[in-house]
Amino acid sequence: MLLRNVLLLFLCLAAAAPSRADDGYRLWLKYDRVANTAERQQVARAAQFVASPGSTPVLRAASAELQRGLSGLLGQAVPVVATAGSRTGGIVLRVDASASPALKAEGYRIFPEKNNLVITGRTDRAVLYGAFALLRQVQTGQPLAGLSLSSSPRINFRLLNHWDNPNGTVERGYAGSSIWKWYELPERLDPRYTDYARANASIGINGVVVNNVNASARYLSAEYIGKVAALAGVLRPYGQRVYLSVFWAAPKVLGGLATADPLDPAVKQWWAAKSDEIYKAIPDFGGFLVKANSEGEPGPQDYNRTHADGANMLAQALGHHDGVVMWRAFVYQAGSKDRFKQAYEEFQPLDGKFDPKVLVQVKNGPIDFMAREPFHPLFGAMPRTPLVLEVQLTQEYLGFATHLVYLGPLIKEVLEADTYAKGPGSTVARVVDGSVDNHALSAIAGVANIGSDRNWTGHPVGQANWYAFGRLAWDHELDPAAIAREWTRMTLTTEPAAVRTITDLLGQSRSIYVRYTMPLGLHHIMGESIHYGPQPWLAKSGRPDWTAVYYHKADSIGLGFDRTATGSNALALYKPEVQKEWGNAQTCPLNYLLWFHHVPWTQKLSTGRTLWNELATRYYTGADSVLWLQKQWLAARPALDPALYADVAARLQTQRKEALWWRDACVLYFQSIAKQPIPAPFAPPTRSLADIKQLVQLYQLK
């Protein structure tokens, strides 16, 4: 009797205890019970069961996800059956190889049939993506009655690039250590790998480069091939293939060869044998990602060979295997008068010389993931070569995991940029998806912001960048605001006013960050080495193009890098229509003004202010806009999980402090050169430039 009473008391206390705080682990796949009774009943009528043949691991994953998701959303069990038979009112999964030719291999269709909802496609992967699309409909409160959806990915290869190292660190990672526990693999598979795969599949990501582009040769050893094969086994049921970044000198380091010359027969043979070894362990291996002859990495130029020589050798080493080579165009050398031009100068002359299995991977802008960059001039300049768009989700230059910056607008901005390669409408998106030049291969890559932190991304709102990348990779015509709204409803709250408030906050966050850090086209003026905080006065470093003064060119006359014909002439790398838009300092969009022009401090801009006054105004209003972010977040507080609210609120406090740091550092430094007063109504900073420089020095201490 005593034991029974103790158990009853325990159960009562457990029932009365508050629910566990949201730690962010479930991402946008929370599947909490739908609060609205009418909505829940409507879903229950349409989802009484899931009928799936379960004939492949991918179909089993799809049916298990539907069961898991619908059971949670409805608060009641939803059974999985092998066939619907005469039953109605359920979800039917069906692979149909003869489905509409308009659907690509991964494209899905959802439609009503005999009081059931059918999810179909030409492959099991298509059905998997359709299952997640249906769950998204429910999570975002969309009706299921008469639902008819059809969607195909616009880009073939939609990849996350992990910059993870074998020792567990993550280069430019701000969310803890690597999620890959190499020392436990292959014997132990962390359950987190499966949840990672589920999250990727839910937004259409179908490939994962598991290691850093600054690669260790160790990943090509038999030991690590076995570890990667174990990861591939987890990702495969969720439609994802694994890829490896490779160290160019691996034939010397691992194979004991005297050279890594891509034209050397022994080197070719080594790579061919290594490819066979990998495919024997991982039959659906995706291929290689290569960083070569960049930032000190070895490459074919060490042997007076071209990037095409190196890439083509690897492509040929893949032989009959179904894989690709993605060769990064991020290259620059010391001594250049304008780093902006180097990738173009090395790669554009090689257009048409790459093997059909090679794609050239190009960063969104010509420098390095700045808060705002003009689109890279290689887009639209290599019509005979498929190009991969590479964007960065980890916030290397965007305040790490401290600042709230939603990257949907940044990614969309570059996708919508018109290259004019074949007339108006030749956008970067259409270059990348292959439609401008009729390429069969197409790819997009996001440098992952994922780590071992419980909430995956450090900053809880960083999850929105992972989510937005996947959604735009699947369909680049989606609206970033609509994506933000989806993510908010699935991740944070379904309360309508709070959803509107947070969606607005997300939409404005990137432009606010730009205003208080690098407005008007300023770039690369962040802290040395760790790339954190402001350091516009940096004039000495390991090489000139690692300094800030190399880029902003501030002097007594004005500010900005002249890239017109009177300067470096980098503007000439673009089509005439783009040159016309950006080539005149009087009409150049202000967001790109200092990217292309050295503008006098006293020149009046389209805003009616002088350059100096506009610069100061943007720094001051940008820093003050962080107060607006805080106000928006506070307004949504009643609808948010308390722990999650407090986490972001604390980070916003830090963001406000650091926005003032950026403002004071840049305004005071540029004022010391411009010799102009702080414009009304703004008050001069209360600390001196010397104070700010001392603060920055503390961040550089090791």
Q: Which residues carry out catalysis?
A: 295, 368, 396
Q: Token pair 């432009």 is at which residue?
A: 511
- Which of 481, 507, 506, 480 lies closest to 411 in space, CA to CA? 480
Instruction: Please tell me the distance from the alpha carbon of residue 644 to that of residue 460, in angstroms, as a whole number.
Output: 8
- Which of 433, 491, 445 lies closest to 205 in space, CA to CA? 445
Q: Which residues contact 697 (CB under 8 A, 6 or more apart)?
A: none
Q: Token pair 């899905």 is at which residue?
A: 108
Q: CB of 699 within 8 A of CB of 527? A: yes
Q: CB of 636 within 8 A of CB of 493? A: yes
- Which of 283, 240, 237 lies closest to 56 in space, CA to CA? 237
How many other C-beta atoms lie within 10 A of the C-beta of residue 15?
7
Instruction: Please tell me the distance from the alpha carbon of residue 504 to that of residue 481, in angstroms, as a whole number.
Output: 8
Spatial strand order in the sheet of 80-81: 80-81, 50-51, 91-95, 116-121, 108-113, 149-151
Q: CB of 117 within 8 A of CB of 110? A: yes
Q: What angle do CA 564, 565, 566 make, to 5 degrees?
A: 90
Q: CB of 288 within 8 A of CB of 246? A: yes
Specify the long-range contacts of residues 12-16, CB closer than 8 Å, at least 24 apart: none
Instruction: Please tell me the distance from the alpha carbon of residue 564 to that of residue 570, in angstroms, as a whole number.
Output: 7
Structure tokens at 596: 């292309």
CA 6 to chain centre: 52
Instruction: Please tell me the distance from the alpha carbon of residue 221 to that of residue 237, in angstroms, as a whole number.
Output: 25
Q: What angle do CA 570, 572, 577 make, to 5 degrees?
A: 125
Look up residue 126 and give its DSSP letter: H
